[in-house]
Amino acid sequence: MSTTARIPSADVSGPKGWLLRTMTKRMFGRTPESIGVMWHHQKVFSGLAGVGRKVESWDELDKNLASLATMAAAARIGCSWCLDFGYFMAHNKGLDETKAREVPRWRGSDVFTPLERRVLEYAEGMSETPPAVTDELSAELLEELGAAGLIELTARVGFMNLSSRSNVALGIHSEEFADACGLPPLAAPDVAVPSQP
């Protein structure tokens, strides 16, 4: 498997590019290659970034649950960029790094609560093709999270599916954000989870 994106990175230039380079260098120490890939179509880049900012403003779902859910979707789809970035952001937001690190092997890990396991299962089920979310699991999460919380969970995982599937299709891989801040490597999955029928 190639570690190079399928579209060469463009020069992030112009006034918008200067601002973006300044912001990303402050946040990451450099401008990620993935931004250069998406810079070829600045309207798409801006639209997706705008939706991403709106997603991050939602607040009906506990931030740790939101982080775990999106990382579980990324892990199921196989987006190393999204997993790495999610782990990095969990660290930067003061979320539970131990749990974030364990997401790729959540089924065999003992660090998750029953609610977190249901959230992880839901995120994984939503990321199947076709989606494999059961009425029973949805009912349990509705009881625990409330209607607004379940809707937010669903929308966050849906947006992560868009992001992860796009990154995988474009060949965008981890840029080692988590390594740059000294986090231990993400846990490796114990075994591959078979696709649902």
pLDDT by residue for the chain (197 residues), tens digit each?
Answer: 456 899 999 999 999 999 999 999 998 888 999 999 999 999 999 999 999 999 999 999 999 999 999 999 999 999 999 999 999 999 999 999 999 999 999 999 999 999 999 999 999 999 999 999 999 999 999 999 999 999 999 999 999 999 999 999 999 999 998 888 889 999 998 765 554 44
Structure confidence at residue 192 (pLDDT) = 55
Phi and psi torsions of 12, nearest 5°: -80, 95
Cα R_g (the chain), whole angstroms: 17
* Cβ contact 175:30 at 8 Å: no
* Cβ contact 97:181 at 8 Å: no
Which residues are CB-contacts of 147 (< 8 A; sequence separation ≥ 6)?
A: none
126, HSE (Cβ side, Cα atoms, 13 Å): 28
* Cβ contact 193:76 at 8 Å: yes
CATH architecture of the domain with range 59-190: Up-down Bundle (1.20)
Structure confidence at residue 12 (pLDDT) = 94
Q: How many CB atoms lie within 10 A of CB 166?
A: 15
For residue 20, give the nearest of 41, 45, 1 by alpha carbon.
Answer: 45
Phi and psi torsions of 107, nearest 5°: -65, -35
Structure confidence at residue 2 (pLDDT) = 53
pTM strictly above 0.75: yes
Rounded Cα distance between 157 and 154, Å, is 5
DSSP state of 60: S
For residue 122, give the nearest of 102, 137, 101, 104 by alpha carbon.
Answer: 137
